[in-house]
Amino acid sequence: MEHQATPDEPQTWSTLPPLVRESWRRSAGYLEDPGRALPPVDLEGSALHAHRAAHPLAPVLPLLDQLLVQPAAEAGLITAVGDVDGHLLWVDGARRTLRRAETSAFQPGADWSERSIGTSAPGTSLATGRGVQVDQAQHFAVAAHQFSCSALPVHCPHTGVMLGVVDITGGREAVATHSLPLIRAAIAAAEAELRTLPARGRAPRLDALGRDAAALGIGSCTTRLSLRHAELLVLLTWHDEHRHPQGAAGPSAATLAEELFGEPGHEVALRAELVRLRRMLADSSTAHGLDLLSRPYRLSGAIMLDAVEVSRALAAGDRSRALDLYAGELLPGSDAPGIVRLRRTVAAELREAVLQDGSPAEIWRYLQLPEAEHDDAAIVEALRTLPSDAPERALLVARAESTQS
């Protein structure tokens, strides 16, 4: 009679399916105590909302709901859609199973990558790029033993780049023989839908707020940029958005070099960086045919920059949309003077608009941003405007006291 595999007895691992066994070997290097491990919930509130809104799988959620979420729910299962890093972004399905899943932190915002929680269908599928089924005690972490799960990765139909993962979780029905084919059919339909999105004429989108690894995307596909490429694209896009109607179409080499390096005389180094940027745009399908033009430097087409969208929303008085879009400071790891200036500009515009004209709910949302953690003026304004019986008041009072101590 075969013994059940246990994490602390490698000699028992031979009873596991080969793909799961290899995952356990990796997981043993990640988790010190699989008996107590729980996945961290890294994304909450506005950060989760912004990440969902920008994710390339967001446009196909209605299709996945129709083809997978609803049929799975009828069988008592839940469906999760996660990003390429293992964060679950959407979890829906049978109500009772959802409540049980929350006890193991199987919820939106939680990190179910192998590095965080060991073997699971979504994490191992992302690690291997393959369809995976994990049955109850085959999970490396004990907290996940109450569930079985099946998952498959989703790829960009234009580049083949992995976009995320789709998983069904619940009882043993989740690892039935028809489970992976059901997920595979839903993903095939979703990828077919994603293939049509660039044809609708959408401009490439550059997400640079709250992240150093900025992403350039068109339709369903995104490419992570180096910090230098992100800096250059942000500067060029911002110049295009704010240039005077009678002014130059873009910055000169001297201007752009100073914004990038902080002092004049670096035009040669700038041109080398621009050659690399031009090559990246030519090689990337997510650039959607963009080219870098010179004299003055400018892009051949428009880019939707999230920082510009925040600025436009504030100009229109739409503070709620600005807060939805604002995922954090612009390229926080950059020390390029031009980026530092824009980072301060966007952050200051948002803060001023919210504190001057924002509703109590908008001020509360602003205070959830990391940069507002010690903003005493914002805390005072929130306490002034919140209703006397608002539950947030006690949290803000405690927060104000902690900043003063």
Write the pLDDT tens digit of every residue in 152-162: 999 888 767 78
CA dist 164 and 62 (Å) reads 16
Decide if pLDDT at 41 tops 70: yes
CA dist 14 and 18 (Å) reads 8
CA dist 302 and 283 (Å) reads 18
Rounded alpha-carbon distances, angstroms, from residue 125 to 49, 63, 207, 376:
24, 21, 26, 45
Average pLDDT over residues 120-142: 94
What 3 state SS string does 324-387 have? HHCCCCECCCCCCHHHHHHHHHHHHHHHHHHHHHCCHHHHHHHHCCHHHCCCHHHHHHHHHHCC
Residue from 368, 376, 323 nearest 350 by CA: 323
**CATH classification (class only), 10-199:** alpha beta
Lowest mean pLDDT among 137-151, 284-298, 360-374: 284-298
Looking at the chain, the domain(s) classified CATH 3.30.450.40 span: 10-199
What pLDDT sits at residue 176? 94
- Helices 227-242 and 267-283 meet at what angle, rounded to 10? 100
The single-letter code of the amino acid at 30 is Y
- Residue 199's pLDDT band, with cuts at 50, 70 and 90, is very low
CA dist 290 and 404 (Å) reads 50
CA dist 265 and 64 (Å) reads 54
Q: Are 393 and 386 in contact (CB under 8 A)?
A: yes
pLDDT > 90 fraction of the chain, expressed in percent and rounded: 54
**Positive or negative torsion for Cα 200, 206, 207, 209:** negative
What pLDDT sits at residue 360? 85
Phi/psi at 299 (5° precision):
-95, 150
Order of all β-strands in the sheet with 221-224: 221-224, 215-218, 205-207, 304-305
Decide if pLDDT at 335 tops 90: yes
Show the CA angle centred on residue 178, arms to residues 174 and 182, nearest 5°: 85
Decide if pLDDT at 85 tops 50: yes
What pLDDT sits at residue 399? 72
- Residue 11's pLDDT band, with cuts at 50, 70 and 90, is confident
What pLDDT sits at residue 338? 96
Task: Please name the residue that has the structure tokens 């090559």.
Answer: 279
Decide if pLDDT at 200 tops 50: no
Tokens for 308?
A: 């510009």
What pLDDT sits at residue 361? 84
What pLDDT sits at residue 62? 93
- Compute how many other C-beta atoms are within 10 angstroms of the C-beta atom of residue 160: 9
Q: Under the phi-then-psi rule, with left for phi > 0, alpha for psi from -120 to 50, and beta for the rest, what region is 307?
A: alpha
Decide if pLDDT at 293 tops 80: yes
Pick from 4-18, 39-53, 56-70 the range whose average pLDDT is largest: 56-70
Q: Are 363 and 387 in contact (CB under 8 A)?
A: no
Give all strands (DSSP E) within 94-202, no chain letters. Answer: 132-135, 148-155, 162-170
